[in-house]
Amino acid sequence: MKFNKIILQVVVHVAAWLCFLMLPFVLFSRPRDTGFIPEQYVSTYFVLTNLLYISFYYFNYYLLIPKLLAQKKVVAYTFIIIGLLILFGMFPRIYRHLSDDLHLLPANPILSNRPRHLLPPLLSGGSIAIFLLVFVISTGIRVVSQWFTSEQKNKEIENEKLNTELSFLKSQINPHFLFNTLNNIYSLAEARSEKTSEAVMKLSSIMRYVLTEAKNNSVPLEKEIQFTTHYIELQKMRLTGKSKVDFIITGDPTGKQISPLLFLPFVENAFKYGISTRETSPVNILLDIKETDIDFKITNNKYNHALLRPAETTGIGITNIKRRLELLYHNRYKLCLADEKTTYAVNLNIHL
């Protein structure tokens, strides 16, 4: 692949220079009694000057710009360019003095139709114009190329930072979730509940999902629903008759993808702060699946949890999920949290 890319670049460069060398034959008229390529165009002077222009192009592209301009050595770069400009402007005069055959120095075929005897006494305007043309093209292409390379590198760095941060956020969720679930199973075991073994099996299924699926940036929506269902069933095992939990799903999840563990922190909080052993405590969870969007809603009552230990009220889950939503669904989600005196509601909309 890399070799093919190099070959393609060589072909493009050769084609571009051939087009450049053909400009005189396309833009300027030729005497009727000459061939397609007049003799003056294959003279030593013509070949030599074009080789110099080509050399300057690559000298500026591969050496001057990366070593000076890119390193912010603007003064040195400017002096060198001015020096080369003067040198190229004087080259026709230098060549005329060094050559014994004056006819080898034709009028510039691209930018001037002047007779040879009108050549400026010191600098050739045509040579300077061509030099500036090559300079502008080489500098422009190099600057644009560097800009694209820089943008690509910045994008790769940003993606790497995003992946690293998402991995860190997931590593926060998993222990947090496991800690809460183990506490629930411990409560069942302490009460010698017959539901303990079933709870352990549910936890095994849930952790298998966390370890195998949740490491990906996206998972099938069906699997995320199944995971959330298992978690709700696990939590319901410790509830009394006063608690009523409804998880309603509308729409078709088939073929849709979502970031894993997005619903978990909200469901966790609903069970943590919305369940009472003494009062009626309904928890209503709705997942409405549309063609391009999903709506996830939770409403629950709020009860006094002032006796909770600090470790249980850190709010890691909600803070975590807000950051993940911003990273994964920037400008494609809307999260509304309604924290009232006696009720708490979550309304999350995600554009898939």
Q: At what angle do helices 264-273 and 221-236 cross, to 10 degrees?
A: 20
335 and 204, same structural domain? yes
Q: Is 104:43 a contact under the CB 8 Å cutoff?
A: yes
Instruction: Please choose, from the candidates 166, 228, 220, 222, the residue with its C-alpha nearest in 3D space to the C-alpha of residue 202.
Output: 228
Per the domain annotation, does 75 fall within a domain?
A: yes
Q: Give all strands (DSSP E) within 144-242, no chain letters.
A: 219-220
- Tell which wins on pLDDT, 242 or 75: 75
149 and 17, same structural domain? yes
- Range of the structural domain that residue 78 is part of: 2-153
325 and 216, same structural domain? yes
Per the domain annotation, does 335 fall within a domain?
A: yes
State which H helix or E strand residue 294 sits in: strand 293-301
CATH code (residue 288): 3.30.565.10
Per the domain annotation, does 180 fall within a domain?
A: no
At 346 the pLDDT is: 95
Per the domain annotation, does 176 fall within a domain?
A: no
126 and 12, same structural domain? yes
228 and 134, same structural domain? no
Q: At what angle do helices 125-190 and 196-212 cross, to 10 degrees?
A: 170
Q: Is 294:221 a contact under the CB 8 Å cutoff?
A: yes
Percent of residues, the chain, with pLDDT higher than 90: 19
Q: By mean pLDDT, which of 178-187, 213-222, 259-268 is the weakest? A: 178-187
- Residue 169: pLDDT over 60: no
Q: By mean pLDDT, which of 25-29, 130-134, 187-191 is the weakest? A: 25-29
115 and 202, same structural domain? no
Average pLDDT of the residues in 321-326: 83
203 and 148, same structural domain? no
Choose the final residue of a domain: 132, 153, 174: 153
Instruction: Please choose, from the candidates 228, 227, 245, the residue with its C-alpha nearest in 3D space to the C-alpha of residue 236.
Output: 245
132 and 197, same structural domain? no
235 and 112, same structural domain? no
Backbone angles phi, psi at 161, to 5 degrees: -65, -40
What's the CA gap between 262 and 224, in Å, rounded?
Answer: 9
Per the domain annotation, does 172 fall within a domain?
A: no
241 and 97, same structural domain? no
Q: How many domains does the chain have?
A: 2
Q: Whole-prediction pTM value? A: 0.54
202 and 64, same structural domain? no
Q: Report pLDDT digits (tens) over 42-61.
A: 577 777 888 888 898 889 88
Per the domain annotation, does 174 fall within a domain?
A: no
- Residue 108: pLDDT over 70: no
Q: Is 205:230 a contact under the CB 8 Å cutoff?
A: yes
Per the domain annotation, does 170 fall within a domain?
A: no
pLDDT band at 287 (very low <50, low <70, confident <90, very high): very high
